[in-house]
């Protein structure tokens, strides 16, 4: 996925999950403070528990900035989560931003702070 560009793969994934929206979220590196592997793994496990508790479908992924200036981060593509709910989840896990997409499958960068 690229911000602002239609993603046919995202559209197919959303349709497969009968979802009109999705969010790409991580719990890694809160507010851009780099954590070690175990620290990020623990945060990601907490995010998985939250998604499972809510009964929300998701797929594992890797977030990578196109310039490769920032290390890749384990992330989740979360289906059927509203923009407001995705923003709240991103804030709960102390993220600067999330990526959200409506039914048009055009990912948007949503700044949280």
**pLDDT at 6 exceeding the cut of 70:** yes
Confidence tier at 65 by pLDDT (50, 70, 90): confident
Strands (E), 54-111: 58-63, 73-79, 97-101, 108-111
Q: Which two tokens stand for residue 32?
A: 């851009």
Q: Give the per-residue pLDDT at 68.
A: 66
CB within 8 Å of 75: residues ≥ 6 apart: 24, 25, 26, 28, 60, 61, 62, 63
The residue among 85 and 67 whose pLDDT is bigger is 85
Burial of 106 (0-12, 13-18, 19+ CB in 10 A): middle
Q: Tell me which residue has tokens 């992330």.
A: 75
Calculate the average pLDDT of the chain. 95
Give mean pLDDT, residues 33-50. 95
Q: Give the per-residue pLDDT at 67.
A: 73
Whole-model pTM?
0.92
Confidence tier at 81 by pLDDT (50, 70, 90): very high
For 73, the 3-state DSSP assignment is strand
Q: Find the largest Cα–Cα distance for the chain.
A: 36
Q: Give the per-residue pLDDT at 66.
A: 72
């Amino acid at each position: 996925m690229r911000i602002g560009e239609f993603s046919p793969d995202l559209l197919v994934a959303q349709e497969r999950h009968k979802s009109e929206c999705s969010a790409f979220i991580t719990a890694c590196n809160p507010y851009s403070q780099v954590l070690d592997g175990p620290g990020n793994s623990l945060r990601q496990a907490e995010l998985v528990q939250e998604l499972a508790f809510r009964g929300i479908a998701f797929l594992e992924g890797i977030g990578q900035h196109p310039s490769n200036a920032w290390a890749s981060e384990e992330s989740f593509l979360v289906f059927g989560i509203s923009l407001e709910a995705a923003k709240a989840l991103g804030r709960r896990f102390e993220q600067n931003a999330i990526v959200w997409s409506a039914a048009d499958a055009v990912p948007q960068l949503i700044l949280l702070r």
